[in-house]
């Protein structure tokens, strides 16, 4: 059975909030209205039993009319609620950036249906960029943004099925002005480049569900900065809030929803005493949350995600009594991304918990804490195709140091040294066309070495 999704509330802000919880279905509703809706009362069905909401929830106003909505339970059920409101039209796309320097002249290509081709001319920096857009089937070519010279790189997209989802790169000073020094183009299918030289300060477009439909930035003799216009599809998948999980007290906190998680820092020993998270915002900049809990334990661990390709999908752990007053805190936390598992941080004893498993990425945490971390929940953005990797094993003994090569596009070859046992293994991976060798796991003291 699918889990409930929370939407809203929609309307104004008030100090008084209410929540009827989750029930089997709705039987009927009463509304008292004047110029506004003054109150609402709901009869729910709870596994065949009638359950009314807690009295009438007053919102204010001067009531003068009663309305009753009685559903043909159980065959009829509520699917949606619409309201009247005064609204101000807004553009459906989001703009962010530009990232880089302030030199040169500002340019903005506007927004189109999608992108057909991107031409990047580069040397040690990005000299220019030129984009061919598709506008409802018509080719629209931008002007060349930047100067001449350098190596020409052309990215032909398999439009309309392939589209640009994000751009990352580096920017820094070139003589007297700050310029874009490298660009990496990510689509819903693959990654192109990097073009240029990866040095300077790293930047990245926010990683959201959607496609880039236009660019803007600054340029002169080189490309000084670049930003984008994104058509979001994330509105199709509402953010779900789960938890918090745990049995401790403490103060409620909520980091709210961000674009992505960059890194997580925990303090742990016998118990997990604090957590602090660095998030990416819609503007592409990152910020640290407040530290939830205190550094009362001796060990500190930091998880750095390979943003924007890696994202957090779930958290599991254990919690137990921390004192004679039965205050509970986490004894360990384990973080799962779409690529690998981090942890456990702490000792796994007590009562186990796990975030519900569904396809999505964590965009924020909430919970309870004071001296220690007592409870933890998350805001999760469902995604239609997270293409997560699956981890299994390891199989064998428990001795030796743990190692994890991480996640790559594929494997090119393996080098195995063995005698009566396997002494070592070394793997050559492929990451978007680039060869990456792992470190040697074990020692080459065997009689035979196999390469294949």
Domains of the chain: 1-84 (no CATH), 94-232 (2.100.10.30), 240-382 (2.100.10.30), 410-451 (no CATH)
pTM assigned to the model: 0.41
The CA distance from 172 to 224, in Å, is 9
Percent of the chain with pLDDT over 70: 82
Name the band, by pLDDT with cuts 50, 70 and 90, for residue 430: confident
Quote the pLDDT of residue 219: 95
Quote the pLDDT of residue 159: 82
Please give the full DSSP string across 194-252, using - where no structure is assigned.
EEE---SEEEE----SEEEEEEEEEESSSEEEEEEEEEE-GGGSPPEEEEEE----SEE
The CA distance from 361 to 383, in Å, is 7
Q: Round the average pLDDT of the chain to a whole number and report it.
A: 82
Which tens digit of pLDDT belongs to each residue from 196-218?
999 899 988 876 667 899 999 99
Is pLDDT at 249 greater than 80 in this prediction?
Answer: no
Quote the pLDDT of residue 30: 75
* 46-50, 165-169, 301-305, 308-312: range with lowest mean pLDDT: 46-50
Percent of the chain with pLDDT over 90: 35
Q: Are the beta carbons of 134 and 164 closer than 8 angstroms?
A: no
Is pLDDT at 358 greater than 80 in this prediction?
Answer: no
Quote the pLDDT of residue 20: 79
Give residue 293's region: left, alpha or beta (phi > 0; psi -120 to 50).
Answer: left
Quote the pLDDT of residue 43: 84
Which residues are within 8 A (CB) of 81 and not within 5 positions of it... i.e. 6 or more apart?
none
Which tens digit of pLDDT belongs to each residue from 119-132?
999 999 999 999 99
């Amino acid at each position: 059975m699918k889990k409930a999704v929370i939407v809203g509330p929609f309307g104004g802000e008030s100090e008084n909030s209410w929540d009827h919880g989750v029930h089997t279905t709705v039987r009927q509703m009463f509304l008292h209205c004047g110029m506004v809706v003054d109150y609402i009362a709901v009869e729910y069905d709870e596994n065949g039993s009638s359950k009314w909401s807690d009295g009438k929830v007053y919102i204010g106003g001067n009531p003068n009319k009663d309305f009753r909505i009685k559903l043909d339970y159980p065959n009829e059920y509520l699917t949606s609620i619409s309201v009247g409101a005064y609204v101000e039209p807004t553009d459906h796309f989001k703009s962010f950036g530009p990232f880089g320097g302030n030199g040169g002249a500002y340019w903005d290509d506007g927004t189109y249906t999608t992108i057909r081709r991107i031409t990047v001319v580069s040397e040690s920096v990005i000299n220019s960029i030129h984009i061919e857009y598709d506008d409802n089937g018509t080719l629209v070519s931008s002007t060349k943004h930047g100067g001449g010279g350098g190596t020409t790189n052309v990215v032909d997209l398999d439009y309309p099925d392939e589209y640009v989802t994000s751009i990352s790169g580096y920017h820094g000073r070139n003589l007297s002005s700050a310029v874009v020094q490298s660009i990496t183009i990510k689509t819903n299918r693959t990654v192109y480049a990097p073009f240029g030289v990866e040095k300077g300060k790293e930047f990245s477009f926010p990683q959201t569900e959607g496609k880039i439909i236009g660019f803007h930035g600054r340029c002169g003799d080189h490309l000084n900065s670049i930003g984008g216009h994104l058509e979001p599809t994330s509105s199709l998948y509402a953010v779900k809030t789960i938890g918090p999980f745990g049995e401790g007290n403490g103060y409620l906190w909520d980091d709210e929803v961000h674009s992505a998680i960059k890194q997580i820092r925990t303090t742990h020993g016998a118990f997990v005493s604090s957590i602090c998270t660095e998030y990416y915002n819609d503007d592409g900049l990152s910020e640290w949350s407040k530290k939830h809990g205190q550094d009362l334990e001796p060990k500190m661990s930091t998880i750095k995600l390979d943003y924007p390709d890696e994202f957090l999908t779930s958290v599991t752990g254990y919690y137990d009594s921390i004192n004679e007053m039965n205050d509970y805190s986490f004894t360990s936390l384990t973080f799962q991304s779409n690529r690998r598992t981090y942890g456990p941080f702490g000792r796994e004893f007590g009562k186990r918990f796990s975030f519900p498993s569904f396809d999505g990425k964590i965009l924020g945490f909430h919970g309870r804490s004071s001296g220690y971390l007592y409870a933890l929940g998350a805001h999760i953005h469902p995604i239609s195709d997270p293409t997560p990797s699956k981890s299994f094993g390891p199989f064998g003994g428990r001795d030796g140091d743990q190692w994890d090569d991480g996640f790559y596009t594929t494997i090119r070859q393996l080098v195995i040294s063995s005698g009566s046992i396997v002494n070592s293994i070394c793997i050559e991976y492929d990451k978007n066309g680039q060869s990456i060798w792992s470190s040697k796991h074990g020692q080459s003291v065997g009689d035979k070495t196999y390469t294949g």
